[in-house]
Amino acid sequence: MTEKIYTKNRNGMLALFTLLLLMIVSIALFIVGGINQVYWMIVLGGVVLVVSCIMISGLVVVKPQEAVVLTLFGKYKGSIKEEGFYFTNPFCTAINPAAGTRLAQSGESEKFGSTVVVENSPAAQARANIAAASKKISLKAMTLNNGRQKINDCLGNPVEIGIAVIWKVVDTAKAVFNVDNYKEYLSLQCDSALRNIVRMYPYDVAKNVDTTGDGQADEGSLRGSAETVARRIKDEIQGKVNEAGLEIVDARITYLAYAPEIASVMLQRQQASAIIDARKMIVDGAVGMVEMALERLGENKIVDLDEERKAAMVSNLLVVLCGNHDAQPIVNSGTLY
C-alpha cells in the first residue's frame, strides 16, 4: 500500500460558516413556511437542515504530529498529515485499527511477555474510549517499555532482560492496511527480536564464543557489550517492522540480571573469581617485595644469609604479606643460628 498525502480542502473554516448559514436559512424557512402555511418551504427547510447536518460531519481538525487515514466506501483516499482545519467528503471514514490500544510506557509494566496494557479502571476505559473515537494516528516519537523476558543466553544460562524502544509511525498507509494492529505487531516483533539477539551472547565474557558470526571467538557479552547488543536489537526490530510503516528511533537495555533460580550460584561464582584475582595480585606483589628485600640485604651487606636462612626468611615474609590477619611479632633474644 502506497501512502497518498491528502492536501486539498483545507478551507474548513469557510465550510463551517457556510454550513452554519445554511442551518440558519433552514430554520428561517421552517418559521416562514409555518406562519404562511407554505408547505414547500417547510419541506425545503427540512432538506437543507438534514443536508447541513450530514455535511458538518466532514469537518476534520488535525493537530501537529497527528494523522488521519481516510477511506471512502472501502477505498483508500489519502492521509492527512499536516495540521489544519479540513473539510472532507462527509462519507469518508477515518481508519485506525490500533485506536484504544495502549502500549506500556516506561515504568508501567513489570510483567513478562507481551506489553499491551489493558486496564479496567473507569479512567483508563474513558481514555481508551476517547482514543478509539478519535481514530487519529499519532506521529510523535513514543516509548515502548518491553516487559522483562526470561531468555537463555548462548551458554544456556537463564537471564532476565528488558528493553525500551523509541518508535514512531512514518507511513500511515502501511501502518493501517498492511498489519492488523501496528502497536500489537510492534510489541510481538520486539519480543521476537530480543530473543533472537540475546541467545547469541553470554551474560559475561566467555571463552570460545563467537557473537558476531565471523567464525572467530570474541569478548562480546550482554553485560560488557550493551551498546552493541542494543544496536543489533534495534536493527533486528527495524527489519521486521518496515512493512508496518514504523521507524525504530532507538533501543536500550533497561534491565539485565540472572534469573532468580541461578542468581545466587552465579553470585558465588563471581565472588570466587574476584577472590582468585585478588589473591593472584597479592602473591605477585609479595614475591616482588621478597625479591627486593633479599637483593637490598645482599647489596648493603646487612646480613649474610645462607640458602636455608633465605628459604626461612622467604617463607616468613610470604606468610606475613599474604596472610588475612596481621602478623604477631615475636622477640627473639637469642641468635638466629
Domain count, the chain: 3
Q: Within this chain, do residues 55 and 108 fall inside the same structural domain, yes or no? A: no
Q: Within this chain, do residues 89 and 114 fall inside the same structural domain, yes or no? A: no
Average pLDDT over residues 101-123: 50
- pLDDT score, position 107: 37
pLDDT tens digits, residue range 16-75? 898 899 889 888 888 888 888 788 888 888 898 899 889 988 888 889 999 999 999 989
pLDDT tens digits, residue range 276-311? 777 788 788 878 887 887 777 777 767 677 777 777
Average pLDDT over residues 166-186: 92
In this structure, what DSSP letter does residue 32 have? H
Q: Give the span between the Cα atoms of 330 and 324, in whole angstroms.
A: 18
Q: Give the span between the Cα atoms of 235 and 15, in whole angstroms.
A: 46
pLDDT tens digits, residue range 133-142? 578 999 999 9
At 29, the amino acid letter reads: L
- Per-residue pLDDT band for 225 (boundaries 50, 70, 90) equals confident
User: With 80 as the cut, is the pLDDT of residue 122 above it?
Assistant: no
Q: Give the span between the Cα atoms of 15 and 88, in whole angstroms.
A: 10
Domain boundary among 239, 258, 277: 258
- Per-residue pLDDT band for 221 (boundaries 50, 70, 90) equals confident
Beta strands in 22-157 (DSSP E): 59-62, 66-72, 75-80, 84-87, 92-94, 102-103, 116-117, 137-138, 142-145, 149-152
pLDDT tens digits, residue range 186-220? 999 999 999 999 999 888 877 888 787 777 778 88
Q: Give the span between the Cα atoms of 150 and 91, in whole angstroms.
A: 49
The residues near 70 (Cβ < 8 Å, ≥ 6 apart) are: 6, 76, 77, 78, 79, 80, 88, 89, 92, 93, 94, 95
Domain boundary among 67, 94, 121: 94
- pLDDT score, position 145: 87
Q: Within this chain, do residues 129 and 238 fall inside the same structural domain, yes or no? A: yes
Q: Within this chain, do residues 197 and 127 fall inside the same structural domain, yes or no? A: yes
Task: Give the end-to-end CA distance of the chain in Å, rounded to a whole number.
Answer: 99
pLDDT tens digits, residue range 268-278? 767 777 777 77
2 CB burial (10 A radius; 0-12, 13-18, 19+)? exposed
